[in-house]
Amino acid sequence: MDETPLLVDRCDGYRRVTLNRPQRLNAFNDAMHRALQTALDEAERDPSCRALLLTGAGRGFCAGQDLSDRVASGDKKPDLGKSIDTFYNPLIRRLRGLSFPVIAAVNGVAAGAGANIAFNCDIVLAARSASFVQAFARIGLVPDSGGTWVLPRLAGAARARGLALLAEPLPAEKAEGWGMIWKVVDDDSLMSEAEKLCAHFASAPTVGLSLIKRALDASETNTLDEQLDLERDLQREAGNTSDYAEGVRAFMEKRAPAFTGRKR
Ligand code: T3D
């Protein structure tokens, strides 16, 4: 079918990564997983990359696992635990651990792992026509890719249960209303809005932003006491960056800051 399951564009200060299996609504096969792993490795190694934009080609964002690779033959059952261990869990850990912001531009339906990959990005922008489907229960599976962790935190316990157990599509506007995503925009302005955000992050104090990500992630399990200590430690680190010094100088001189995104 598709020769290139992933497209990577090097933009000014960020990378755009497009899931590219539009005939299958960008469902994941092993080749797309591997290409995405490589793209994330390369982005992280590139000091000029200060944000990542993740989107889908065609009318869908991502329909989760490609089920045509899962059709059971006879008694032989696929080992889904192995697939999760090899691909989905490392992907979610990777996305959350990237040292710059990850923006999902959800251009259409995001189903199964596709929905939860989006929910694990730092900022989710969605086209008005997009929707999120916890499709797992329709085929006898459990929400994965961090779904059972992220859903109660984003939507609250009652809504998380409804979404996971009923597997009904959640329209983007409702997801925005429930506080699960950053913003819904008109379909034809999705990419320009997402690129605007990336351009903003490409000239932001990147190290400071990565420390913010760490602090917010840690707050999921920390006590207030632990979090206060962590904030002290991270603030010390942030205060040692040249971007902090530049931010203060620029404020005092009443000009726009020129952040390098580097530590020193
Ligand atoms: O297996 C493991 O490794 C464990 C990990 C699992 C992670 C998971 O993500 S499990 C969940 C897998 N995903 C799904 O169950 C979603 C399946 N897709 C759908 O329910 C629907 O396609 C959508 C709700 C996403 C969209 O519906 P609709 O009506 O807009 O589109 P459609 O007509 O159903 O799909 C368009 C085409 O894409 C169609 O192909 P065709 O008929 O035009 O040749 C359809 O078969 C194909 N497609 C959509 N999703 C998948 C898919 N093909 C393979 N796998 C898919 N996941």
Per-residue pLDDT of 58-104, as tens digits, reads 999 999 999 999 997 777 889 999 999 999 999 999 999 999 999 99
Question: Do the Cβ atoms of 100 and 210 come closer than 8 Å?
Answer: yes
pLDDT at position 158 over 90: yes
Rounded CA gap, 195 and 52, in Å?
Answer: 10
The pLDDT of residue 11: 97
Rounded CA gap, 151 and 205, in Å?
Answer: 30
Tokens of 116: 């939860």
Residues 211-221 have a mean pLDDT of: 97
The pLDDT of residue 118: 99
Q: Which atom of ligand 1 is nearest to the CA of 59?
A: 30
Q: Whose CA is nearest to atom 27 of ligand 1?
A: 109
> Does the C-beta of 112 come closer than 6 Å to ligand 1?
yes
> Does the C-beta of 243 come closer than 6 Å to ligand 1?
no
Enter the pTM of the model.
0.97
> Does the C-beta of 136 come closer than 6 Å to ligand 1?
yes
pLDDT at position 2 over 60: no
* DSSP states along 199-255: HHHHTS-HHHHHHHHHHHHHTTT--HHHHHHHHHHHHHHHHTSHHHHHHHHHHHTTS
The pLDDT of residue 264: 67
Q: Which residue reads 């203060």 in tokens?
A: 248
Q: Which atom of ligand 1 is nearest to the CA of 68?
A: 54
Q: Which atom of ligand 1 is nearest to the CA of 135?
A: 15
Q: Which residue reads 């400071």 in tokens?
A: 208
> Does the C-beta of 176 come closer than 6 Å to ligand 1?
no
Question: Is pLDDT larger for residue 210 or for residue 3?
Answer: 210
Helix (H, G, I), strand (E, B) or coil at 173: helix
The pLDDT of residue 3: 76
Q: Which atom of ligand 1 is nearest to the CA of 88?
A: 5
The pLDDT of residue 114: 99
> Does the C-beta of 115 come closer than 6 Å to ligand 1?
no
Among 62-76, 152-166, 180-194, the least confident range: 62-76
> Does the C-beta of 65 come closer than 6 Å to ligand 1?
yes
Distance 63 CA to ligand 1 centre (A): 5
